[in-house]
Structure 1
Amino acid sequence: MPPPTVPPNTSRAWLILGSAFLAFTVGASVMHSYTVFLLAFVADFGWTRAESSLAYSVGQLVGGFSSPFVGNLVDRLGTRRMVLLGAALLVIGLVGSAQAEALWQVVLLYGVVMTFGANCVGLLVFVPLASRLFANRRGMAISVLQSANGFGRAASAPASQMLIAGIGWRGAYLVAAAVAAAVLLPLAFLFDRRGAAARAAAAPAAAGGVEHAWTLAEAIRTPQFWLLFFVYMCTSIGSFLVSLHQIAFAVDVGFDPLYAAGVLGMGAFLAMPGVIATGTLSDYIGREYSALLAYGISIIGVFCALAITGPGDHLLLWLHACFFGLTWGARGPAITAKTADIFPGPRLGTILGVITIGSGLGAAIGSWAAGFIFDVSGSYRVAFIGSIIAYAAGSLAFYALRRPPRAR
């Protein structure tokens, strides 16, 4: 690994990493809470599972296809302005969702407004910064960031379920808006306001010849770029064929909704240590082997879900929650760090943004397909089998990334 451009153990670096973790947690909590609101929409509006999944699927598409734009913006505007923009969009989307009366309104507010806002406080904004602050420990730093996704997902399920049960789904959205504003707006001012500062931080390494500063045009001509795209897509398909409908699946087989949300939420809390462990491990045993371990554990978790037949299978539900939750997002640090390893330089945000289209595309396919499969077959079994196949394909593609590309 190249020497760091900024000392990795300074208090300022850790403060920035912690602030990024908290901001990402808020955005992830807002977006993942849709898994709980889905059942509320079905009960209140009478929508089908596929209709209720539409906003989530649109959100994943928007998240993916807006990634190049967000990556380019963070390279130009800097982290502070992006977090402020994200906070504003999330609050607007949450307050608007509390007033929604039709499917198209939920699709617009969640699928477009809130998704773009969450992208502005997500990995695309913080990974280039963390990669430069912790160049010798990229896997660890990115794993800390990525763990915010699992932590937000774990916290959002039981909290949203309790809020919906207590004050209804409209009131729950308003509470989420207040929390997002109270946390994100102060955090924004801890980050640098200039995009030029990020480019200046990367300049010493490129100027010294330690790393080739890749451009998007160069990266896109390498097979590694498209392998990463495929890995992101397959991983998201595998994850979202299961994750969006986990609570609905558990309720369908007979578990109490609050109990199911609690079990799956507790399992999702394991994502935080799981992501940090696999990301840090990737600094020592290699990105590929760390990711393969995470893929394998996720597959075991999906097999446990396939084995559940009724509300008496408490152990299988807990095993599914723990294995699937432990590795939720656990491949992210290895994949993202691998992207930073392969394509370093001041245009990393833009390159990562384009590759992340694969993640959004896969998430949209997976989340909508699971609802469609249920509507057609009355079961999630085929969706869960598809998740295993997608994970296997992603692991093989990622293992093929062992050889670095050569700049042309």
Structure 2
Amino acid sequence: MSATETSPSLRSWLLLAAAFTTFSIGAAFMHAYTVFLVTFIEVFGWTRAQVSIAYAVAQAVNGISSPFVGWLVDRLGTRRLILIGGTVLTLGLLISAHVNALWQIVIVYGVVMTMGSNCLGLVVFVPLLSRLFVRNRGMAVSIVQSANGFARAFSAPVTTMMISGLGWRGAYLWQGIFMGVVLLPLAALFRGAGQGTVRRSAEVDGWTLRQAVRTPHFWLLFLVYLFTGLGSFLVALHQLAFAVDIGFSQLYAAGVLGMGAFLSLPGVIVTGTISDYIGRELSAIVTYGTSILGVVFGLMIHSPDQHLLLWLHACFFGLTWGARGPAITAKTADLFPGPNLGTILGVITIGTGLGAALGSWSAGFVFDVTGSYRVAFWLSILFYVAGSIAFWGLRRPPAKRA
């Protein structure tokens, strides 16, 4: 066993911190759409289903493009992907300040910004981190995965204040300027790390995509990603709109939901770390149950004086937002290690994109039809249960076929 496997170096820990920072920034700009969604309804008069289209397209593009991003990072390395993704995301934010029609938002946010953000996301960092942190893979993945919840926590209140002070076009403009300023420093942190052309001798006999897809484990993982995306995004995109509809003020609700989302930072790290000790499956099932409890608290809210229930909903749902990610991603690395992990993970991640796309749009459609998000919340619980069942089926490792 190498020194890297037994004791990660200081450089490894610095790269983990850099991955967390980069992922946080990219994810924050994407999660900010939950606030822009409310603004677009007021400014343009669009229905919930209409404003959900851009977000649904973004989730679909995120999933569909993940195999390509994984293939690129296996060959170009982390630093080049950050340069490409940061540049594209910066352009998308600047262009967003000038959109005037729904189709423009769908293209700019749903395609351009999503492609940029995906090059700053988990698929880019997991292959590097899984090599640097072998014995503590769950812990390392959980730390970088927690960046997603951390970004979600501060993006809503910060974006709300930016729109209030600068207008929604000004908010997009300054977000684009910020992304452009931090791009090069972020990429510089990964100089010489995770080059795609480097192959460790120990990984030569790793899994190929063709071998992986011939196992039931690959398709169970795909279903886990699909069901988790459905369960999460039937609630997440419309949480703020749900609270505002009940009668809570937008700024107050954004603050409560933001504080709840902030809990995902310790929640993801703790659940990912304990998955190294109690097993990925049990860790994931605990998080599914916690998320379900958060959705149930949301279903119990009927009036704006039920502040405790809003806090309980935000905290329990936020605590495990993304908490399944480390267990699922680390499980993928456990089952299919090797130099093609980025590609394999990218293909499986299509399930997340499809689930998130269908879930976020379906919640808006359900509201337009029923005038409430309650059916969407019940569907969220159903898919969380299905995800836990699929994950439990991954207890035994797959057999590699020739």
- The alignment's TM-score, normalised by the length of structure 2, stands at 0.98
Structure 2 residue 147 is matched with structure 1 residue 148: yes
What pairs with 1:153-164 in structure 2 (closer than 5 Å)?
A: 153-164=152-163
Aligned partner of 2:111 in structure 1 is 112
Aligned partner letter, 1:218 = Q
Amino acid paired to 1:45:
F
2:383 is the counterpart of 1:393: no
Residue pairs, 1:7-406, within 5 angstroms: 8-192=7-191, 197-198=195-196, 200=198, 202-206=199-203, 212-406=205-399
Change (3 A) 1:4 1:97: farther
SS where residue 329 of structure 1 aligns?
Answer: coil
Query: Do the aligned partners of 1:3 and 1:136 also contact (CA within 8 Å) in 2?
Result: no
The question of whether the paired residues in 2 share the 8 Å contact of 1:4 and 1:132 is answered with: no
Unpaired runs of 5+ residues, structure 1, are none
The alignment partner of 1:57 has SS state of helix
Contact residue 156 and residue 258 of structure 2 kept, 8 A: yes
2: CA distance, partners of 1:305 / 1:179 = 35
The alpha carbon displacement at 1:185 in A equals 2.0
5+ residue gaps, structure 2: none
Q: CA deviation at 1:193?
A: 5.4
Partner AA of 2:132 in structure 1 = L
**Structure 1 residue 203 displacement after superposition:** 2.0
Q: Secondary structure of the equivalent of 1:311?
A: coil
SS at match of 1:267: helix
SS in 2 for 1:308: coil
Per the TM alignment, residue 192 of structure 1 is displaced from its structure 2 partner at its CA by 3.8
Distance of 1:363 and 1:373 partners within structure 2: 15
Q: Which amino acid aligns with 2:256?
A: V
**2: CA distance, partners of 1:194 / 1:320:** 40
Contact 2:6 2:135 in 1 (8 A): no
Question: What is the rounded CA distance, in whole Å, between the counterparts of 2:391 and 2:2 in structure 1?
Answer: 25
1:121 to partner: Cα distance: 0.3
Identity %: 65
State the Cα distance separating 1:184 from its structure 2 match: 2.8
Extract structure 1 runs of 4+ deviating beyond 6 A: none
One-letter code aligned to 1:14:
W
Secondary structure of the structure 1 residue equivalent to 2:8: coil
Deviation (angstroms), 1:7: 5.8
Shift of 1:194: 7.5
Letter of the 2:11 partner, please give it. Answer: R
Match of 1:401, SS state, is: coil
Q: Is the 8 A contact 1:59 1:110 kept in 2?
A: yes
Coordinate RMSD, CA, aligned: 1.3
Aligned residues: 401
Aligned partner of 1:351: which letter? I
Give the distance between the partners of 1:180 and 1:190, measured in 2 at CA.
16
Q: For residues 305 and 203 of structure 1, what CA distance do their matches in structure 2 show?
A: 48
Give me the whole-angstrom Cα distance separating, in 2, the residues matched to 1:80 and 1:267. 32
